[in-house]
Amino acid sequence: MEKNTKILLNKTRTVDSVNVNTQFNISMENTNKPIPVNDIDTNINAYEVFEEERKESSIYRFYGILNGVVSNPIYNDNIKIYENSNTGAVESKKISSSDIYEKDGWIGYFNDETNEELELIGDNESSLCEFFPFDPGYKRLSILDSDGSSNYLMKITYPYAQTDITLVQNEFNISLKDGLPIIEKMVVSLHGRDYVAFKTPINHGLQPRDLINLYNFYDLSGDLALSQRSKAVFKLGDNEGKNTDRIFVMDIDPLDIDFQAGVSTIKRIKNNYESSYYVRILKSLTTGYTDYDLFPAAFGVNYYEDDVASFNFIKDIDVEGLKDNLGRPLSELFLTIVKNDNDSQPNSVYNRYWHNQQSQLPANIKDRFWTRIVGGYVTENNALVNYNIRAFGDPTYATNSWFTNIDESDEDFHGDIVEYNEYELLERSLENIYHRLNTIYRENLESITKNSNVPVPSKREGYIYQPHSRIKIREFSSFIHPTVDLQTVFDKYNITSPQEQEKLKQDYKVPDYATQISPNVYRWRDLLGIGEIDGMGSGVDYPFESGAHYMYLNNRFYLQRQDPPCNFYLTAEEILIPQDKDKFEDMLNRPTFYKYDILNIDDFKGGQSSSITQNGVASLLDYNNSGNPIKLDVRFFSFFGVYELGVRDVAGACVDYNVLDITDIDENC
Amino acid sequence: MKTVNSKKILVSKLGASGTTIDIPLSTNFFPVDNSELITHQFVEQEKEKVINQIVDNKKIIFRPADDSWNIIEEFKINLNFFTPTSIQNGSPVYHNASNGSNGAGVYSEIGFIYDDLFCRANRFIFSFMRLLFYDNPNSGDNRLLFFSDIYTQIGKDQQTPNGLPLPPDQSPISIRTADPLLQPEMSHEGYHIYWYPDLVDNAPNKEYEMYMTLIFNNASTGKSILMAPSKTLNPFNVQIGDLNGEEGKLHLKVILKNDNGVYKYRFVGNNQQLSSNGTGGVNLNPTVPGPSSLTFWQINV
């Protein structure tokens, strides 16, 4: 039992004393728990929990396959390179034009001698009859590379900024921010009436009946009121209805209006909101080769017998807090693939050979195989247009601009040209960016061969590819959120405190990326949740597992020719045998060799005639009577494309040979 | 007019200490139930507790490395069994006993004939070795983490220069497994280990340990034979204590490592298991040209 304490009242002590209060501290501790008044049952909805976890997660894991469509029509030389097993020296042997083959898009040769080159499977045995592509071959261009030096670097990037470019050269500093430049005026006739049509260097993104504002045009009639009125697009395309992406027609007499290339510009307008035009800049979220695994896809071979690659990003991509170039939460990422310019071991046989060939070039390039990567767009062919990726190397474009010195290790990359309209609150991609590169050897062939017996002009056609593939991770709603006018609320209730105004903004759920069309008046599109599909079908849905979003990417990667030559003409040269034997042998080795004819066969009678023809080239090369030379007419293909990019060794797949006499196999068999 | 009672205190009655007047303050306390608290706090907390934590099931590729953590493009596994003749004689010895029993045995010693090899008979191609990975090296106390199977193969080692299978008494029981990217023409089974990266990242020094054993499943005889990366001198007297533990001969330690962002693994043999000690088969850095190799020997008859 606890101790009792007695307290005597003061009045019991003396008669004069009065009682006073005496206080005790008594602590009271409550150890009871609230007791529910009844049974509590609650259900946990697994789907709701899943949705909640999915909504909270900002982690993405990317995996998929990459179907590379690559080949080597742009090769250095039609030679076989090998290491002499006796001397250790790197040697080469010319492959005659008749021995050059195309196999699944690759240009090369079938080995005709043993032990000059190891078999691809590496068993140190004969490589007889095995196909070898000319350099650059499989080990520099394939997505899957077995030499230990990756040919491409994959990155995950996102748009985080934007920039302006001067798309067409001009003296007035007119750039993309001033609108899409015009480069050509045309006349389009319809039902006996002429309409004016204008061409833009890139896709204009217009549709019939779109309204556009015209800037810096010449109003020849004086009554077009171009500065006061927007004009409607009447139709798209030229007289034949072609090139609709870059030609638009307006209902204006061509005689009433004129333009100045690069200075005259247009801007699409929607409900009095003008579109803006810019280039997006992408930032990398991954850094190197250790961020992903790359391996052969099971049973993955494409139509061209190229191995399909599987990839799996080990690094998780967290998009929490990341904003795009418009300050919005990320709705798209990009799978960026950049060519690696160090795609083989420095001491490989091929590198040793080319470095030796390039030894007299400047120090900064002689030990490289690839040129630096440049970036640009597939634009119209006009010498005033900058960033024309297909024209890089064309002397006509010597003063033009491109994005230069791109490297796979870069953190930022230029991206697509985009139109953004503040009324629609949507970005529209107009042109995708391309990268271009060539080999140092081809690009500088003229310098390399200038002191040789057979100088060869440089071959400036390179490879181009699209580096960025869009990954849609979220989507904005098809519907614009009704305008929220907080200013009216502030005025009505006299809310002036910034804190209270901000509180109200939050209560109205105005997102921080909302567009403020006037003070405290907001418009925006809701960013749809994952798995949320709106009435127009917008929205995304993909697996959520282990706390992360799994996105399967099924991408193709095209390594294209910069300017495939779709046309050719035949050139002819007369030579004498035996005087020009060496020259004839060189001619036979050129990949563009077509055929030869003996012009003076009638000068050779009877058995003499048959002796110079019976064994073809061998008979000609055996002929030594310089007193009675054989006159040969040797013919070559000369392929040409749209741009002046030097000698082309291989025709584009678009070339039409129908003008030639083609021998039917039945005629010979 | 005030309705309170007035009290007078005479000054002469005041003592040395303060004089106070007790004024009772009473409150009417009405107990309320805690339903709101229960609904909004208690239930939510209990719900949180009952929902499973998110478990990250992501597995990634680990590549094999040698003793210096350099990735190896390929490695070879040799199996060496007691020869049938020696078993019949009652004193089992391994293949090539006269030269230390190193390297692989031959297929004739485990019941295969030439036709099996030449025709890739089912009983040959369905024979396989199973690599079993455990969390610790004590049998009966360890948990199986995963296993991977590697099927028999007629590879380069089992062929003549012309590509024909070697006779079974010359055909080594070995497999080579290689990187699918760097050696696309070779077999890749068992080359990679797939494991959880977060377990490795959170392990001390970012090195995660597991232990491997090997069983050869012979489709010809229907027998599963336990193998060890160390020779057994007396198969009739195998003690469990010799097999288990870090220094036992059965379990081969495997370390998985995050090496500056590159995920690798390597086999770490103990004193009994290192080939350099003459008793084991772990040879990741061979002194003669050739692939890294692991040799396993039959444990008991």
- Interface contact B13, partner A, CB < 8 A: yes
Chain B neighbors of A44, CB-CB under 8 A: 47, 50-51
In a domain? residue A70: no
* A327-356 pLDDT, tens digit each: 999 999 999 999 998 888 888 899 999 999
- Select from A260, A282, A308 the last residue of a domain: A260
Cβ distance A20 to B15 less than 8 Å, yes or no, reads yes
Q: Are strands B74-80 and B292-298 parallel, antiparallel or unpaired?
A: parallel
Q: Which residue has the higher pLDDT, A278 or A23?
A: A278
Confidence of residue A304 (pLDDT cuts 50, 70, 90): confident
- Is residue A656 located within the same domain as residue A571? yes
In a domain? residue A33: no
Which of A148, A312, A548 has the CB atom closest to B182's CB atom?
A: A148
What's the confidence (pLDDT) of residue B23?
A: 63
- Interface contact B43, partner A, CB < 8 A: yes
User: Which residue of A lies nearest to B52 if distances are taken between CA atoms?
Assistant: A49
What's the confidence (pLDDT) of residue A120?
A: 44
* B245-257 pLDDT, tens digit each: 999 999 999 999 9
Residue A502 pLDDT greater than 70, yes or no: yes
- Is residue A496 located within the same domain as residue A534? yes
In a domain? residue A616: yes
Which of A42, A146, A290 has the CB atom closest to B182's CB atom?
A: A146
How many contacts, defined by CB atoms under 8 Å, are there between A and B?
A: 82
Tokens standing for residue A64: 């998929």
Helix, strand, coil percentages in chain B from 3-state DSSP, rounded to 5: 20, 30, 50
Which of A10, A42, A294 has the CB atom closest to B181's CB atom?
A: A294
- Select from A214, A233, A260 the last residue of a domain: A260
In a domain? residue A662: yes
In a domain? residue A394: no
- Is residue A594 located within the same domain as residue A658? yes
Q: What average pLDDT does this structure show over B72-95?
A: 94
Chain A neighbors of B35, CB-CB under 8 A: 36-37
Domains in chain A: how many in total? 3
User: Which residue of B lies nearest to A119 if distances are taken between CA atoms?
Assistant: B185
What's the confidence (pLDDT) of residue A123?
A: 43
A630 neighbors A623 (Cβ within 8 angstroms): yes
In a domain? residue A389: no
What's the confidence (pLDDT) of residue A5?
A: 63
Phi-psi region at B260: left, alpha or beta (left = phi > 0; alpha = psi -120 to 50): left
- Is residue A528 located within the same domain as residue A602? no
- Is residue A663 located within the same domain as residue A582? yes
Q: Dmax of chain B from CA atoms?
A: 132
- Interface contact A306, partner B, CB < 8 A: no
- Select from A260, A276, A306 the last residue of a domain: A260
Which of B22, B37, B262 has the CB atom closest to A21's CB atom?
A: B22
- Residue A56 main-chain phi, psi, to 5 deg: -75, -20
Residue A125 pLDDT greater than 50, yes or no: no
Chain B neighbors of A290, CB-CB under 8 A: 260-262
- Is residue A210 located within the same domain as residue A252? yes
Closest among A623, A566, A637, A567 to A595, alpha carbons compared: A637
In a domain? residue A561: no
Q: What average pLDDT does this structure show over A580-596?
A: 91
Domain interval for residue A525: 477-539
Q: Give me chain A's average pLDDT, please.
A: 90
CA distance A31 to chain B (A): 16
Cβ distance A546 to B180 less than 8 Å, yes or no, reads no
- Is residue A530 located within the same domain as residue A593? no
Q: What average pLDDT does this structure show over B215-225?
A: 95
Q: Within the 161-200 window of chain B, which residues sit less than 8 Å (CB to CB) from chain A?
A: 161, 180-185, 197
In a domain? residue A318: no
- Residue A231 main-chain phi, psi, to 5 deg: -115, 150
Cβ distance A122 to B180 less than 8 Å, yes or no, reads no
Chain B neighbors of A125, CB-CB under 8 A: 161
Chain A neighbors of B60, CB-CB under 8 A: 293, 312, 314
Confidence of residue A377 (pLDDT cuts 50, 70, 90): very high
Confidence of residue B13 (pLDDT cuts 50, 70, 90): low
CA distance A17 to chain B (A): 6
What's the confidence (pLDDT) of residue A122?
A: 43
Confidence of residue A33 (pLDDT cuts 50, 70, 90): low
Q: Are strands A412-421 and A426-431 parallel, antiparallel or unpaired?
A: antiparallel
Residue A19 pLDDT greater than 80, yes or no: no
Q: Within the 50-69 window of chain A, which residues sit less than 8 Å (CB to CB) from chain B?
A: 53, 61
Strands (E) across A200-354 are located at 211-215, 218-219, 231-236, 247-250, 257-258, 265-270, 273-284, 292-301, 307-313, 317-318, 332-339
- Interface contact B7, partner A, CB < 8 A: no
Confidence of residue B1 (pLDDT cuts 50, 70, 90): very low
Cβ distance B60 to A314 less than 8 Å, yes or no, reads yes
- Is residue A530 located within the same domain as residue A576? no
Chain A neighbors of B184, CB-CB under 8 A: 144, 146, 296, 307
